[in-house]
Amino acid sequence: MYSALFTDARLQASLHQLDQELAGTVQQGGCPCCGAVLHSARYLRKPRGMAPEWRSQPCWRRSFCCAAEGCRKRATPPSVYFLGRRVYLATAVVIAAAMRCGATPARMQRLSELLGVSRRTVLRWQIWWRRRLPESPFWRSISGSFVPPVTTFDLPLSLLDRFAGDLEHRLIALLRFLAPLNGDNGLQHAV
């Protein structure tokens, strides 16, 4: 069930479109320091975990640079497509770490075939979800809004279960929820 999301080109196109919308909002807002116009300063990423038909296409991380001489502040918008500086796409990090019964040999074989991810990497992602995210300022600021509280041991699955709809809609909602971790608002260090 989860593995179909890894190769779903339609889902990746939806996330790509959401990233464009988030980037447009940041660009329209102007420079966060001086309010000047922001110019495109995108950069190439080579993420893993993409649908096969997308792998040959260039993948750009949207970013902007202030046009005002002397300022030149970079503004990187939040992202639902990427999760911080990780090499794998956000969908891969969420779904692989959300496996209910852990990284069994059969699941790891399937993940290795689909994404080229190792067991060690998946375990590192699970540590990030269960230890590092709950310690972050981002999590401390929003975790109290969940009633009943989200079980940190079961992250990201316990958080994914808080959103409504089918698995694809819940995944998109979770990625939108986490998007502030990927922008320039000072929370990126948590990722």
> What is the percentage of the chain residues whose pLDDT exceeds 70?
90
Specify if 128 maps to a domain: yes
Taking residues 68-92, what's their average pLDDT? 89
- Give the domain range for residue 106: 3-182
Exposure class string for 52-69: b at 16+ Cβ within 10 A, else e: eeeeeeebebbbbbbebe
Q: Which of 5-19, 26-40, 100-114 has the lowest mean pLDDT?
A: 100-114
Average pLDDT for the chain: 85
pLDDT of residue 52 exceeding 70: no
Residue-level pLDDT at 26: 94
User: Higher model confidence: residue 110 or residue 31?
Assistant: 31
Residue-level pLDDT at 110: 79
Residue-level pLDDT at 187: 40
Specify if 188 maps to a domain: no
Residue-level pLDDT at 25: 95
Phi and psi angles of residue 74, each rounded to the nearest 5 degrees, phi first = -85, 140
Q: Which tens digits make up the pLDDT trace of 130-185?
A: 999 999 999 999 988 888 889 888 899 899 999 999 999 999 999 999 998 887 65
Q: In total, how many domains does the chain have? A: 1
What is d(CA 50, CA 129) in angstroms, rounded to the nearest whole number? 21
Specify if 191 maps to a domain: no
pLDDT of residue 99 exceeding 60: yes
Taking residues 50-71, what's their average pLDDT? 84
Taking residues 57-78, what's their average pLDDT? 90
Specify if 190 maps to a domain: no
Specify if 187 maps to a domain: no
Specify if 84 maps to a domain: yes
Specify if 81 maps to a domain: yes
Specify if 92 maps to a domain: yes
* pTM as predicted: 0.84
